[in-house]
Structures are given as structure tokens and as C-alpha cells.
Structure 1
Amino acid sequence: MSEYKHGAFAKESPTSVLTVINTTANISFVVGTAPINLIDEKNVNKLYRLANYEDAVKNFGFDPDYDQYTLSEAIDVFFTKYQVAPVYFVNVLDPAKHKKAAMAETNPQINGQVILSQKGAIKSSVAVNVDKDTKKLDVDYSLGFNKDNLLVVTALDGGSIKPEDKLIVTYDVLDASKVKASDIIGGIDAAGVYSGIQLAQKAYPKFNEVLGSLIAPGWSQDITVTNALLATAKNLNNVFKANAIVDMDTSKIKTYTDAVSIKQKSGLTSEFLNLCFGDLYLDEQKYNHSTMLCALKQYIAGINDSIPNKNPSNKSYYINGFKLNGQDLDLDRSQAQYLNANGIIVARNGTNGWRSWGNRTACFPGDTDVKNYDIALRDMGNWLMNTLVVFIDQMVDEQIDRPLILRIEESEQRWLDGLVGSGKLISGRVLFLKDKNPLSELLAGNIYFKLLWTSGPTASSITNEIEFNVHELNKVFGEETV
């Protein structure tokens, strides 16, 4: 009998579709591992443009074991926490290679079903027997996953499985531990097929979108993966610039001060590199720092008219803990500043909660060019160059004449004036210089324009000086201050 109720009641259900902020700047590319057995076992080394949470889960599945399935972590961070899109995903976990045999299970049916005990079951590997009689899929039984991602064998009406039969099930399960750094890095084979990180090169020709950030959460602690991300990011399609956001390898770090020497020994000093330190936590759930920073950067661009002139430092993380190798890492301001001064990004807790803390790229302090070491200026420089490439591409192969020069010059200047007018730039100017365009270059079909731009550097420190004014004490006598 149902519970007796008397009176008016109300309840609220979760929003069925999470709205996302669509961006055209700092678009993210994520390569990693997914519980692909839940969806499509052939979704390996394929580039997907994902528009929302539902799209991501439909194509990559979801499992809360983020250590095994790094793309599930990315789904959580990008689509439920920061709610940004689009995001590009590549799964490299291959059920054909990265697997192991599970123990055969003999189970009685419960309501015509048997639930297998191990997660990661690969449907295509399942064999069901009763005694020595092999049963047929979709004739005698069907396969499907329950809410816990466990595989369920269901006896079909009209099949040969009887209610009293015990099912002997053999199967393989995914084994993410068999994925190697080389799988994440990928490459281009003799047939011209792209895999791993190299699939970032396909975002623009396939979808006409320029990437802003590349990450490999759970894998970028490997220096070979970091170097592959960096090499790809700073020369996408041989014309575009992006950033690699990576996590430091902390396995040999005993205290936060060790991070600086590790960085120096690893040669992590590129302006196209955002270097993250420590693990982020929300209660007991651990997150790779690079995932959170990458989503944050895309979110900040999204709420700023898709223009990346704002620094992610001192912006909110969806966390309540920061750890080094499982131990709480409550850095005070001076400790955080020490790492920031060496181009390392941390998380810091303050009056406004946990925040990203660090406004310098990994090239700092060795590189003293502000457009290289200031994260916001580096992002803005990348975006300006990338936008110009896409915008001017439509004018390539036009006849070189004065009207073409004026059209390009005026179009670019209008664009810059708009950025200045909206406060995204302090100034912007386009120049067509005679000494940069000699006749030999014009005859070869090459035109050169120079763009001068200025954007405000990040306010890294703000100081207020206070002084006790003794002269104001005269007011106690009713006298005017001298």
C-alpha cells in the first residue's frame, strides 16, 4: 500500500538538458580513455565534436572511475561543471588490444537475467553456455548494461534457455592499464591515418574550428606526452597556434619547492605551455588539474564574447581540496607565489573559495617578453593570429591591386576598431608598408601586412600604501588641520 498523504505537495526534478555556453575561442581538445564498451567498441582514434553532456555520453559512455577513464573526467568537468562547448574528444582505449580475460562465471538466473560481476565487459567477447551447449546472441539471449555499467545477460522468450538453467559466461574486460603513452601520442601511419594527439590536426579541416587548448589528462605527467602536446599545439595545421595545458609529474616531489627544479630539469619552458601542479579534489573525487584549467579557460572566453583576453588566474575552480600525492596542500600566499614566479600554476583557497592561482606561462621567468609569459596576452596573441588566418583566407588568390590592399587593410582595421570599442584591446592598427613589400615579393604573389596590437597586461599585484596622518589629531581641539 502506498504512503498515505493529505495536503498539497511539490517536488523538483533535475534539469533534463544542461544548457552550455558555446564558444569560438579557447576550444578544447581532449585525448584519453573512455568506457567505450558501453557504447561503440569501434570508437577508437576517431575525432568527435561534442556539443553537450548527452552528446558526450552517447558517443563515449560514462563511468565514475576517472583514473581508468580520463574522458569521463573531462565529460564531468566540461559539461556538468563549466558547461562549455564545443569540446573535441579522442578515445585511444581499444577493446581489441587493451583487454584481459575475466574469470568464467557460472550463475543461476534471477528473473531471467544474470548480471556479470566485472565492469568493463566487452560485448563482442561474450560467450554463453548451458553445460556444453553454446547459446546464440539475439536468439537465446540479449546483452545490455545496467546503471552500474555491469553487463546483463537476459534470456529471450522463444529461446532455448530455460529458467532453471545456470549460465556459464566467459568474457573479456577493458584493461586501461595496457594503454601506453605511445597510444596517447599517436601519429600518422603509412596510409595517412591519424591517431592520438595528431587528430587535433583534423579539427579545422573537418569542422572549420580552430582549437585553443590541448590536454591529455592523466597522461601529460609523462614528458613524452607533454612534448607531443606542445609540438602539436604550437603548429596546428602549420598555421595555427594553441596552448598545451599539462600536469607536472609529482611522483618524485616530496614538497612543493621541488616542483621548480623538476620543471627546470624537464625543460618545460615554452610560452605555449600552461604548467599545472598538484591534484584537485571535490570531496573524495580527484581531478587532473589540467582538465579543470582547460575548461575554466574555455568558460572565461565564452562569457567574454568568445575573446580570450582575460587571465584564468584567480577564477573559481569547482573543488574543495588541493593535494600533492594524496596529502593536503594548503599553500599560503608566499608559497603559491614562489611557484607562480617560476611559471607554475596552483590552486589556492581564499575568501572567495578555491581558485586557479598563477598568471604566467611556463616560459617564465626565463622569457621576459610580456606577450609570451602573460597567459592572457599569449592566448590573445594566438587568437588574433588564428582569426586573421581564417578571415584573410577568403581573399587568397585575388588579383594584387590597390583595391585588394585597401579591402584587406580596411577590413582588418574595422575588426580591430571593434575590439578596441568593446574593451578587448587598448589599441590596434594595420599597416601596409612599402619596405616590407618589395617588387620581388609582389611579383611572387606575396603580400605583407603588419598588425600592431595592445591589450592590458594582467594585474599581477595591487599595492595600497597606508600612512598614519598625525596632523588630523588637531581636530580633537576643533582646529583645522595645517
Structure 2
Amino acid sequence: MPASFLHGVEVIEVPNGPVPVTVVKSAVIGLVGTAPAWAVASPLVAAALDTPTLVSSALDAAAFGPVVRGYSIPYALTAIQAQGAGQAIVVNVFDPTIHFTAIAATAFTFNTQGTINLGHMGVSSVVVTSNPAGTTYVANTDYTLDAVNGVVTLVPAGSGGHIAPSASVLIAFRYADPSKVVDADVIGAITGGVYTGMQVFQTTYGILGFFPKILIAPGYSQDATVAAALTAMATKVRAMALIDSPPATSAAAAITNRGVVGSSFATSSSRTILCYPQETFFDMGIVPTGVTLNASGLPLTSQFNANAVAPYSQWVAGAMAAKDLAQGYWWSPSNTEVDGMLGPDVQLYASILDASSDTNNLNAAGIVTVFNAFGTGLRVWGNRSAAYPTATTPDNFISVRRTMDVIEESVELAMLQFIDQPISNALIDAILASANAFIRSLIQRGALVAGAASFNPAENPSAQIAGGQLVFDIDVMPPPPAERITFEAFIDVTLLQQLGNTSPITVAAGAVS
């Protein structure tokens, strides 16, 4: 009761009893990579550099630029959204002011339309001088620049320009070059309270109210250093890290790499999903060196329009997120059809009947692969994380590990309402009632086989309680996936006794036989 004096009556409303536990988001992908924001903005800018950006639609994805070869984010978002559902928290690490290639002063000649094609898209720091050098021309006075397409157009003398038609000039410039992005850019760091690269994922709960639960870095996670950092980040935010193999890796080599120190596959983390192999797809991406000029001197971009190879993780991530939303996070990602792929970049023998098939051997080594048989379409294939076969506990199943993550984080976040309340039997009962109501709801939905929360006095001695600490137990069992189904078939000769014992057929009156 308050200590202030009152000669009268008052009512104090005291919240008591259980509270609902809100399930954390599981179908959120954390994507770190490169984006060609220069393709939608001039002068060149970075697309939300090292900033977590929530992408929920194609409109959101457009902020990261079109699909341009060499840039990973637009390709990954296309693969994710092709699965039909799911959100992504995107972190772009490409900065055109840092990641560029410089071209020294090179001779170019204006064509009859008064334009020059520099041969690269996404240009900056353009300097145009006379040839031979001596006069430096002024942008927007002597010439104009289309930085997106890399096209220089002279300003006619009648409009104040000083460059003669069909003149030869020297041009120095820089062009955006995603190949300059290194592993350290993707991994990032925390410097002076500033988060960069994948470290930004640690800030997303404070900014968006949730963490990404499926982490990918397509094109980079095949490097062991990025793979290790992605796994470490998954541990921090209770997520799964999807790691790729290099392109054109044989099934035998992928299995061997499980034991090769320095390989991205050499891990036994229950938070790592090994995605093999890379996949072919029809690539309609813009070729950043393929701009041509039409008869009027206007730029025309060129699309690749041919089959290409890309990391499998982006499709697996999209399939996982879509399945979470459609069926639940307690469902295994395995046996989920994937759209947008043409097939693996190496030949794989897939069979559910042959234990020596490539797909079975890969799964037995803790590698998630792709399955394709007659009429099945391409499917994610494999239930287990990289913890298998080192660990055989139930949480080596991807779905079990993810279900435990959801339960643990959901309960933790719900307990904020009870933190710092006076310890009493009523508080203990309220906490137990909240947790058990949540567990019962999960059992009813099929996310758990059984489970309960309990308070054991033996785990809570008086000295510990006097220190403000309470310990509760949560015992649950998520449903493991039906990875193997066995029938025992018997040839029962006694069934031959039924031969010759057929009963006469009785035809009802009036029936036509």
C-alpha cells in the first residue's frame, strides 16, 4: 500500500494473473549483400548502406535497384519472392564511393549524334579534357552525363558548349564495381557504436521489433570466413545460417568438404544449414557493360537472357519462409517445391528408394540438397542441420531447432511484464500459467507433441530467491519430421486358403444383371 496519508477510501488497480505469450516471427529472412542503387539514382548513391531495411513486397525490393549482373540483393529478393511469401530484412554493403574501378584518361570520339558510350554503367568522377590534354571541359556546360548508363553527350556550341562535333576527347572516370566488395564488408564490424555488414542484424529488434530468423549471404557464404561469421550471428539472434557450396562442386567433393578444415562446410553447428549445390536459372539481369546506343544516340541496356548459376541458399530461404507462413515453423523445409530454378549445376542422382543415391548420401552427411524425380518438380531435400552426424540429439533436425528457438524467445519476451515485480506465490503462479497456456496452444496447433512449464522448489533455494532469482523448467518435445517410413511386407501362404471359398453372388429381385 502507498505510504501517503489518506483518511478515506480508494481503489488501486493491480494487474495480476497470466499474460498471453506472443509468438515471435519466424518467416523473416536476413539478407546481406550488394545492391545497384546507382541504377535508380543519379548522381550515384548507396542503397541504404549498412541499414536494416524491411522488404515485404516487390515495391519495397525496387528500392535496391533492378536485377543487374554482379549484384546479389536483387537476385536474392527475386528468388525469395518467387516462393510467394515471406519478409526480408536487407542490409546493403555496396558503396559506389568505395567499391569502384578507376579508368585513367582514355581517348573517346563523339559519334555523329554527339554521344560517347563509356562502356560501363554506374559511372562517377568523370573528367573530360581535350585531346591532347590542355582544356578541361565543364559538366552541364560543355557536356552532360548519364551516370546510370555511362553516356556522355556534348552540348552544342549554340547552347554554350565548347566541344566540336565529332571531337576526340580524353575521359577519366570510375565505374561501380561489386567485385571490390570483400568478405570484411559483408561480415562488418561494430566500431564506435556503429554497426556495419551483417552485424546490423543485432540491431533489428530495437528498430523493427524482431530479429531475422533465416540468414543468407548469397555469393559470399561459400567463403569459410563469411560462413563462420553468419553462423556466429545466427547464434546471437537465434536464427539459422544458410551456407552455400562453391559452384560446380561434385557431390563427392561436397561430402568430403565436411571434413576439410577451411571449407565453409566444415562445421557441426546446429544453427547452420548446408545448401548444396548451386542452381541454374534463366538470368534476365542487365549486363552493366552491355549498354549500346541507338540511331538517335540514346542508350539501350542489354539483358543477359541466358542460363546462369546462383547460390542455392536464396531459394531455400524463400521456401522456408513461405512454408512457415503456410504450415508453421515446426514443419521441416524438406520436400518443399521451389520455383524459379532450372536444376542443379551438377548432375545429381535422386531417389527415395536407393540408399546409395546422391541425395541420400548428401543428407546422411548433414547437407540439404535438391531433389528432382519424375513429376516432382525441384524440391528442397534434407531435414538436418550441419550438427548431423556429429550430434544425434533431436535438435539436429532443422524444424526441431527452429521450434525450440521460437518457444524460448517467445517466452523470454513475454516475461518482460513480470520482471521486477515482488516475488510471491501469485507471481510464480502467473508466470507458470502464462507459459503453460502458451505451451498448450502449441500442442493444439501441432507445434509440440507435449510439454509443460514447472517450478521446482529444489532449484530455488531461499538464498537464490533472496537474490531476486527464480528458475523455471520448460519440458517440451517438438514433432520430429517423418524422415524414414518403413513397411514390413510378409508373404503369408495361409492367405491361399481363401482360394475357392468365394461366396455365391445374390442378385436382388428386379435387378438387371
Q: State the TM bucket, normalised to the shorter chain.
A: 0.7 to 0.9
437-446 or 107-116, which deviates more: 107-116
> Do structure 1's residue 248 and structure 2's residue 245 form an aligned pair?
yes
Structure 1 partner of 2:9? none
- On the 8 A contact 2:112/2:166 being kept in 1, the answer is no
Which structure 2 residues correspond to residues 363-382 of structure 1 after superposition, within 5 A? Answer: 363-371=387-395, 373-382=396-405
Alpha-carbon contact 1:323-1:329 (below 8 Å) kept: no
Give 1:320 deviation, angstroms. Answer: 2.3
Q: Residues 136, 53 of structure 1: CA spacing in aligned structure 2 closer, same or farther, 3 A cutoff?
A: farther
1:257 to 247, 252, 259: 252
Match of 1:272 in 2: 271
Deviates more, 1:290-299 or 1:174-183: 174-183
Instruction: For 2:55 and 2:359, locate their aligned partners in 1 and report how far apart those are by CA, in whole Å.
Output: 35
| Structure 2 residue corresponding to 1:47, chosen from 47, 52, 55 | 52
Report the RMSD for the aligned CA atoms in angstroms.
Answer: 2.8
Q: Which of these residues, 68, 71, 74, is aligned with residue 73 of structure 2?
A: 71
Q: Offset of 1:434 from its aligned partner? A: 1.2
> Which structure has the higher relative contact order (CA within 8 Å, separation 6+)?
2
Which of residues 441, 461, 480 is equivalent to 2:464? 441
Q: State which of 120, 130, 144 in structure 2 corresponds to 1:118.
A: 120
Q: CA deviation at 1:243?
A: 1.2
Q: Secondary structure at the match of 2:483?
A: coil
Taking the aligned partners of 2:107 and 2:485, their CA distance within structure 1 comes to 65
Counterparts of residues 40-439 of structure 1 (less than 5 Å): 41-43=45-47, 44-58=49-63, 60-65=64-69, 68-79=70-81, 81-102=82-103, 104=106, 106-108=108-110, 114-119=116-121, 121-123=122-124, 125-128=125-128, 134-137=136-139, 143-144=145-146, 150-153=149-152, 160-161=160-161, 164=165, 166=167, 168=169, 169-189=171-191, 191-236=192-237, 241-249=238-246, 255-266=250-261, 267-283=266-282, 284-304=307-327, 307-318=328-339, 319-324=341-346, 328-333=347-352, 334-350=357-373, 351-371=375-395, 373-439=396-462
Shift of 1:72: 2.0
Structure 2 Cα separation of the partners of residues 285 and 108 of structure 1: 35
Q: Which amino acid aligns with 1:213?
A: I
CA distance in 1, matches of 2:61, 2:314: 16
Contact 1:292 1:317 in 2 (8 A): yes
Provide the secondary structure at the position in 1 that maps to 2:372: strand
SS class of match (1:118) = coil
Provide the C-alpha distance between the structure 2 equivalents of 1:354 and 1:154, rounded to a whole number of angstroms. Answer: 48
Distance 1:423 1:321 in 2: 33
Normalising by structure 2, what TM-score?
0.77
- The number of equivalent residue pairs is 436
8 Å Cα contact 2:108/2:116 also seen in 1: no
* Contact 2:27 2:86 survives alignment (8 Å): no
Contact 2:348 2:359 (8 Å CA) reproduced? no
Q: Which amino acid aligns with 1:61?
A: G
Structure 1 residue 469 displacement after superposition: 4.7
What is the rounded CA distance, in whole Å, between the counterparts of 2:152 and 2:85 in structure 1? 37
**What is the DSSP-based 3-state SS (H/G/I as helix, E as strand, rest coil) of the residue aligned with 1:428?**
strand
What residue identity is the alignment partner of 1:258?
A: A
**Aligned residue type for 1:315:** T
Give the deviation of 1:112 after TM superposition.
6.7
Q: 1:419 to 1:154 in 2, by over 3 A?
A: farther
Decide whether the 8 Å contact of 1:300 with 1:312 is kept in 2: yes
Paired residue type of 1:28: I
Task: For residue 440 of structure 1, report the CA deviation from its aligned partner.
Answer: 2.2
Name the residue aligned to 1:18: none
Distance in structure 2 (CA, Å) of the matches to 1:105 and 1:359: 58
1:3-47 deviation per Cα after TM superposition (whole angstroms, max 9, x unaligned): xxxxxxxxxxxxxxxxxxxx9213111111222322462443222
Shift of 1:214: 1.4
Alpha-carbon distance in 2 for matches of 1:197, 1:352: 36
**Would the aligned equivalents of 1:50 and 1:56 in 2 still touch at CA under 8 Å?**
yes
Instruction: Indicate conservation of the 8 Å contact 1:274/1:361, yes or no.
Output: yes
For residue 375 of structure 1, report the CA deviation from its aligned partner.
Answer: 0.8
**Does the CA-based 8 Å contact 1:214-1:243 persist in structure 2?**
yes
Secondary structure (helix, strand or coil) at the match of 1:88 reads strand
Q: Deviations over 1:84-111 (max 9, x none)?
A: 3421112222222221124646353676
Kindly tell me: are residues 83 and 127 of structure 1, through their superposed partners in 2, closer, same or farther at Cα, counting changes over 3 Å?
farther
Structure 1 residue ranges without an equivalent (≥5): 1-22
User: CA deviation digits over 1:130-163, x for unaligned, max 9?
Assistant: 7766555556665547xxx623446679953489
Q: Structure 1's 410 and 139: CA in aligned 2 closer, same or farther, altered over 3 A?
A: farther
